[in-house]
């Protein structure tokens, strides 16, 4: 049987046991965040820089993230590459480390990422030593350009952000998994643990979940459910799912079990 104890995801020189990244927006109380982190087993937690304020402990989202986690600020609110770069630099100066999730969004209706500006920001920040994880619409050409730009991973959306609609971009994500040499992390849109498992079964390296956990009736229990689903999906991928066929195949012989008189 496959053993997950030695199965690590390596990004930016860090070996990660958990393949579930956790977002921190939309929780009814910040005090739920450390409980959700513990229940899920997440080791990478993303925060919006505008919610990081060392001067106000109660409102400083970073203070609720367990110290052993990797804090990954995102550039939420950036409308172009220049703004994303500025936010990333401010986050590093504020002591948030050198991991950054690039979000550049100019579309106010569907909140779809601007792939072109994201590539530009990735190139600049990677050259400055950041571990850059760009959030993009799944596109093979864009993903290849992000590889060239120095991205540490590529984070395609599964569905519009915050929609809980599931893995609507499945075939496009599958192409990225097959064609690019970086970890592919599904970010945005996953609404059920079963959808996280489905993504992991395809061979994605990890998933990032926020809304589906934070807005659940019991966020801590849902965090645990997603953690288990990600492990199950990863194990299924490593085990090698059986062949899919068009017609029925009996699992036992249909002849030779009755004597003919």
Q: 143-154 pLDDT, tens per residue?
A: 999 999 999 999
Residues labelled catalytic? 101
Task: Please state, in angstroms and rounded to a whole number, the distance separating the CA atoms of residues 83 and 186.
Answer: 24
The tokens for 53 are 């304020």
pTM of the model as a whole: 0.89
pLDDT in tens, the chain (261 residues): 666 678 899 999 999 999 999 998 888 888 999 999 999 999 999 988 765 555 555 567 777 888 899 999 999 899 999 999 999 999 998 888 899 999 999 988 889 999 999 999 999 999 999 999 999 999 999 999 999 999 999 999 999 988 989 999 999 999 999 999 999 999 999 999 999 999 999 999 999 999 999 999 999 999 999 999 999 999 999 998 887 877 887 776 666 555 555
Q: What is the pLDDT of residues 98-132, one digit of tens each?
A: 999 999 999 888 899 999 999 999 999 999 999 99
Contacts (Cβ under 8 Å, ≥6 apart) of 85? 121, 124, 125
The whole-number pLDDT of residue 261 equals 54
Burial (CB count within 10 angstroms: exposed 0-12, middle 13-18, buried 19+), residue 120:
buried
List helix spans (H) across 94-149: 115-127, 140-149
Task: Count Cβ atoms below 10 Å from residue 66 Cβ, excluding itself.
Answer: 13
Task: Please state, in angstroms and rounded to a whole number, the distance separating the CA atoms of residues 41 and 49.
Answer: 23
Burial (CB count within 10 angstroms: exposed 0-12, middle 13-18, buried 19+), residue 64:
buried
Q: Measured between alpha carbons, how far is residue 184 from residues 72, 141, 150 in Å? A: 16, 14, 14
Q: Which domains does the chain have, with CATH numbers?
A: 4-239 (3.20.20.70)
Q: Measured between alpha carbons, how far is residue 194 from residues 38, 62, 232, 233 in Å? A: 20, 29, 10, 9
């Amino acid at each position: 049987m496959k053993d997950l104890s030695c199965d690590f995801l390596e990004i930016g020189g860090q070996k990660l046991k958990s393949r579930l990244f956790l977002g921190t927006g939309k929780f009814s109380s910040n005090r739920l965040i450390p409980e959700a982190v513990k229940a899920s087993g997440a080791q990478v937690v993303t925060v919006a820089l505008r919610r990081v304020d060392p001067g106000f402990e109660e409102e400083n989202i970073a203070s609720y993230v367990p110290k052993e986690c990797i804090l990954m600020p995102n550039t939420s609110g950036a409308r172009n590459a220049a703004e994303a770069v500025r936010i990333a630099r401010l986050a590093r100066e504020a002591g948030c480390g050198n991991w950054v999730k690039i979000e550049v969004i100019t579309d106010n209706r569907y909140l779809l990422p601007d792939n072109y500006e994201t590539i530009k920001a990735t190139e600049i920040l990677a050259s400055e030593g950041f571990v850059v994880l760009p959030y993009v619409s799944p596109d093979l050409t864009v993903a290849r350009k992000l590889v060239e730009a120095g991205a540490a991973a590529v984070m395609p959306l599964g569905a519009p952000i915050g929609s809980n609609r599931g893995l609507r971009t499945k075939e496009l994500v599958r192409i990225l998994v097959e064609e690019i040499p970086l970890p592919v992390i599904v970010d945005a849109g996953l609404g059920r643990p079963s959808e996280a498992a489905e993504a992991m079964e395809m061979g994605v390296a990890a998933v990032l979940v926020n809304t589906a956990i934070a807005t659940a009736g019991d966020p801590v229990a849902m965090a645990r459910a997603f953690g288990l689903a990600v492990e199950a999906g990863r194990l299924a991928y490593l085990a090698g799912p059986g062949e899919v066929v068009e017609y029925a195949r009996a699992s036992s012989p249909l002849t030779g079990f009755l004597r003919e008189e």
